[in-house]
Amino acid sequence: MVTIAWALWFNRNEIRHEGLRKDGKDVVRWATHYLEEYWSTIEWERPAQVEFERVGSWLPPWANWFKINVDGAVFASQKAAGLDVIIRDDKGRVEAAMSKKVLLPLGVLEAEAKAFEAGLLLARDVGIQDVILEGGSLIIYNALREASLPPSSVASVVMGMLDLCKEFRKIEFSHVKRKGNRPVYLLAKYVKSIDERQDLKNTN
Protein backbone atom coordinates (compact mmCIF):
# COMPACT_ATOMS: atom_id res chain seq x y z
CA MET A 1 0.00 0.00 0.00
CA VAL A 2 2.84 2.39 0.82
CA THR A 3 4.49 1.67 -2.54
CA ILE A 4 1.21 2.29 -4.40
CA ALA A 5 0.71 5.56 -2.53
CA TRP A 6 4.24 6.59 -3.46
CA ALA A 7 3.58 5.61 -7.11
CA LEU A 8 0.46 7.82 -7.15
CA TRP A 9 2.46 10.73 -5.75
CA PHE A 10 5.25 10.11 -8.26
CA ASN A 11 2.80 10.07 -11.20
CA ARG A 12 1.19 13.30 -9.95
CA ASN A 13 4.60 14.95 -10.10
CA GLU A 14 5.13 13.54 -13.59
CA ILE A 15 1.85 15.11 -14.71
CA ARG A 16 2.93 18.48 -13.29
CA HIS A 17 6.04 18.25 -15.47
CA GLU A 18 4.04 17.39 -18.61
CA GLY A 19 4.39 13.64 -18.16
CA LEU A 20 1.74 11.05 -18.95
CA ARG A 21 -1.16 10.36 -16.61
CA LYS A 22 -1.35 6.66 -15.67
CA ASP A 23 -4.67 5.01 -14.97
CA GLY A 24 -5.21 3.04 -11.76
CA LYS A 25 -4.20 -0.32 -13.22
CA ASP A 26 -0.97 1.07 -14.68
CA VAL A 27 -0.04 2.66 -11.33
CA VAL A 28 -0.59 -0.61 -9.46
CA ARG A 29 1.32 -2.59 -12.10
CA TRP A 30 4.25 -0.15 -11.99
CA ALA A 31 4.35 -0.22 -8.18
CA THR A 32 4.26 -4.03 -8.18
CA HIS A 33 7.21 -4.24 -10.61
CA TYR A 34 9.15 -1.73 -8.55
CA LEU A 35 8.57 -3.71 -5.35
CA GLU A 36 9.46 -7.05 -6.99
CA GLU A 37 12.73 -5.61 -8.27
CA TYR A 38 13.51 -4.23 -4.80
CA TRP A 39 12.94 -7.60 -3.09
CA SER A 40 14.94 -9.36 -5.81
CA THR A 41 17.90 -7.11 -5.00
CA ILE A 42 17.54 -7.64 -1.25
CA GLU A 43 17.49 -11.43 -1.70
CA TRP A 44 20.66 -11.26 -3.83
CA GLU A 45 22.60 -9.40 -1.17
CA ARG A 46 21.96 -11.82 1.72
CA PRO A 47 25.14 -13.46 3.07
CA ALA A 48 25.91 -16.92 1.70
CA GLN A 49 25.82 -18.58 5.13
CA VAL A 50 22.22 -17.43 5.56
CA GLU A 51 21.26 -18.40 2.03
CA PHE A 52 22.27 -22.03 2.49
CA GLU A 53 21.21 -22.82 6.03
CA ARG A 54 18.49 -24.98 4.46
CA VAL A 55 19.39 -26.05 0.96
CA GLY A 56 16.37 -27.04 -1.10
CA SER A 57 16.67 -30.15 -3.23
CA TRP A 58 16.74 -29.96 -7.01
CA LEU A 59 13.57 -31.29 -8.62
CA PRO A 60 14.06 -33.20 -11.88
CA PRO A 61 11.99 -32.42 -14.98
CA TRP A 62 9.42 -34.77 -16.45
CA ALA A 63 10.54 -37.89 -18.31
CA ASN A 64 12.42 -37.07 -21.53
CA TRP A 65 12.55 -33.36 -20.63
CA PHE A 66 15.57 -31.27 -19.65
CA LYS A 67 15.82 -28.61 -16.97
CA ILE A 68 17.91 -25.49 -17.58
CA ASN A 69 19.05 -23.90 -14.32
CA VAL A 70 20.51 -20.40 -14.65
CA ASP A 71 22.04 -17.77 -12.41
CA GLY A 72 23.46 -14.30 -12.99
CA ALA A 73 26.09 -12.79 -10.70
CA VAL A 74 27.25 -9.18 -10.46
CA PHE A 75 30.89 -8.38 -9.65
CA ALA A 76 30.65 -4.66 -9.02
CA SER A 77 34.34 -4.20 -8.18
CA GLN A 78 35.30 -5.75 -11.54
CA LYS A 79 32.54 -4.01 -13.51
CA ALA A 80 31.63 -7.45 -14.79
CA ALA A 81 28.94 -10.10 -14.53
CA GLY A 82 28.88 -13.89 -14.53
CA LEU A 83 26.40 -15.98 -16.53
CA ASP A 84 26.01 -19.57 -15.37
CA VAL A 85 23.99 -22.44 -16.81
CA ILE A 86 23.53 -26.14 -16.01
CA ILE A 87 21.29 -28.37 -18.12
CA ARG A 88 20.25 -31.73 -16.65
CA ASP A 89 17.99 -34.54 -17.79
CA ASP A 90 15.22 -36.26 -15.84
CA LYS A 91 17.80 -38.50 -14.13
CA GLY A 92 19.85 -35.51 -12.94
CA ARG A 93 22.68 -36.19 -15.40
CA VAL A 94 24.43 -33.08 -16.71
CA GLU A 95 23.81 -32.59 -20.42
CA ALA A 96 25.67 -29.28 -20.71
CA ALA A 97 27.12 -26.55 -18.50
CA MET A 98 28.50 -23.09 -19.04
CA SER A 99 30.13 -20.42 -16.90
CA LYS A 100 31.04 -17.14 -18.56
CA LYS A 101 32.25 -13.71 -17.46
CA VAL A 102 31.11 -10.66 -19.43
CA LEU A 103 32.81 -7.30 -19.00
CA LEU A 104 29.69 -5.20 -18.69
CA PRO A 105 28.56 -3.14 -15.66
CA LEU A 106 25.18 -4.87 -15.40
CA GLY A 107 22.72 -4.53 -12.55
CA VAL A 108 21.34 -7.57 -10.74
CA LEU A 109 18.19 -7.81 -12.84
CA GLU A 110 20.07 -7.31 -16.11
CA ALA A 111 22.55 -10.07 -15.18
CA GLU A 112 19.69 -12.44 -14.36
CA ALA A 113 18.01 -11.68 -17.69
CA LYS A 114 21.24 -12.35 -19.60
CA ALA A 115 21.68 -15.63 -17.68
CA PHE A 116 18.18 -16.77 -18.71
CA GLU A 117 19.06 -15.86 -22.29
CA ALA A 118 22.36 -17.76 -22.09
CA GLY A 119 20.49 -20.85 -20.85
CA LEU A 120 18.14 -20.81 -23.83
CA LEU A 121 20.99 -20.30 -26.29
CA LEU A 122 23.00 -23.18 -24.82
CA ALA A 123 19.97 -25.49 -24.90
CA ARG A 124 19.33 -24.60 -28.53
CA ASP A 125 22.98 -25.17 -29.43
CA VAL A 126 23.04 -28.69 -27.93
CA GLY A 127 19.83 -29.54 -29.74
CA ILE A 128 17.36 -30.31 -26.95
CA GLN A 129 13.71 -29.56 -27.62
CA ASP A 130 11.60 -30.14 -24.48
CA VAL A 131 12.86 -27.89 -21.69
CA ILE A 132 12.05 -26.21 -18.39
CA LEU A 133 13.87 -22.92 -17.87
CA GLU A 134 14.40 -22.28 -14.16
CA GLY A 135 16.01 -19.33 -12.39
CA GLY A 136 15.84 -17.18 -9.28
CA SER A 137 14.42 -13.93 -10.67
CA LEU A 138 10.69 -13.70 -10.10
CA ILE A 139 10.54 -10.63 -12.35
CA ILE A 140 12.06 -12.44 -15.35
CA TYR A 141 9.98 -15.55 -14.64
CA ASN A 142 6.73 -13.53 -14.70
CA ALA A 143 7.80 -11.65 -17.81
CA LEU A 144 8.56 -14.86 -19.71
CA ARG A 145 5.17 -16.26 -18.71
CA GLU A 146 3.72 -12.95 -19.93
CA ALA A 147 2.06 -12.55 -16.53
CA SER A 148 3.54 -9.06 -16.21
CA LEU A 149 5.47 -6.57 -18.29
CA PRO A 150 9.26 -6.58 -17.87
CA PRO A 151 11.03 -3.45 -16.58
CA SER A 152 12.38 -1.30 -19.40
CA SER A 153 16.00 -2.20 -18.53
CA VAL A 154 15.45 -5.84 -19.59
CA ALA A 155 12.50 -5.50 -21.97
CA SER A 156 14.55 -6.03 -25.14
CA VAL A 157 16.26 -9.14 -23.69
CA VAL A 158 12.92 -10.61 -22.63
CA MET A 159 11.37 -9.96 -26.05
CA GLY A 160 14.34 -11.67 -27.69
CA MET A 161 13.92 -14.68 -25.40
CA LEU A 162 10.22 -14.96 -26.22
CA ASP A 163 11.16 -15.17 -29.91
CA LEU A 164 13.87 -17.72 -29.09
CA CYS A 165 11.34 -19.87 -27.21
CA LYS A 166 9.58 -20.52 -30.54
CA GLU A 167 12.56 -22.63 -31.61
CA PHE A 168 11.74 -25.26 -28.96
CA ARG A 169 9.09 -27.93 -29.29
CA LYS A 170 7.93 -27.57 -25.67
CA ILE A 171 9.04 -25.05 -23.07
CA GLU A 172 7.95 -24.27 -19.53
CA PHE A 173 9.23 -21.78 -16.96
CA SER A 174 9.95 -22.29 -13.28
CA HIS A 175 10.99 -20.01 -10.42
CA VAL A 176 13.31 -21.30 -7.69
CA LYS A 177 14.85 -19.65 -4.65
CA ARG A 178 18.62 -19.37 -4.87
CA LYS A 179 19.03 -21.88 -2.03
CA GLY A 180 17.46 -24.49 -4.33
CA ASN A 181 19.74 -23.50 -7.21
CA ARG A 182 23.07 -24.12 -5.47
CA PRO A 183 25.08 -25.85 -8.25
CA VAL A 184 24.63 -22.88 -10.55
CA TYR A 185 25.36 -20.48 -7.68
CA LEU A 186 28.67 -22.28 -7.09
CA LEU A 187 29.53 -21.83 -10.76
CA ALA A 188 28.90 -18.12 -10.28
CA LYS A 189 31.45 -18.04 -7.45
CA TYR A 190 33.94 -19.83 -9.71
CA VAL A 191 33.54 -17.46 -12.66
CA LYS A 192 34.37 -14.45 -10.49
CA SER A 193 37.97 -15.66 -10.24
CA ILE A 194 38.60 -16.48 -13.90
CA ASP A 195 40.23 -14.19 -16.41
CA GLU A 196 37.86 -12.48 -18.83
CA ARG A 197 39.52 -14.37 -21.70
CA GLN A 198 38.66 -17.73 -20.14
CA ASP A 199 35.34 -19.50 -20.47
CA LEU A 200 34.01 -22.80 -19.11
CA LYS A 201 31.70 -24.62 -21.48
CA ASN A 202 31.21 -28.39 -21.47
CA THR A 203 28.70 -30.41 -23.41
CA ASN A 204 28.18 -34.16 -23.61
SS (H, E, C) 113-175: HHHHHHHHHHHHHHCCCEEEEEECCHHHHHHHCCCCCCCCCCHHHHHHHHHHHCCCCEEEEEE
Residue pair 46/35 in contact by the 8 Å Cβ criterion: no
Go through 59-81 and write b for each residue having 16 or more CB atoms within 10 A of its CB, e for each that does not.
ebbeeebbbbbbbbbbbeeeebb
- CATH code given to domain 66-203: 3.30.420.10
Q: Is the pTM of this model over 0.85?
A: no
pLDDT of residue 157: 97
pLDDT, one tens digit per residue, over 41-84 is 544 433 333 333 334 577 899 999 999 999 988 888 888 888 98
- pLDDT for the residue numbered 96: 94
Instruction: Express each pLDDT in 134-172 by its tens digit.
Output: 998 999 999 999 999 999 999 999 999 999 999 999 999
Q: What is the pLDDT of residue 22?
A: 73
Q: Highest mean pLDDT range out of 14-18, 73-77, 181-185?
A: 73-77
| Structure confidence at residue 188 (pLDDT) | 55
Q: What's the confidence (pLDDT) of residue 21?
A: 76
Task: For residue 193, name the pLDDT band (cuts at 50, 70, 90).
Answer: low
Give every CB contact of residue 200 below 8 A, 6+ residues apart in sequence. 97, 98, 99, 100, 187, 190, 191, 194
DSSP calls for 24-57: HHHHHHHHHHHHHHHHHHHHHTS-HHHHTSSPPP
Each residue of 90-101: pLDDT tens digit? 999 999 999 888
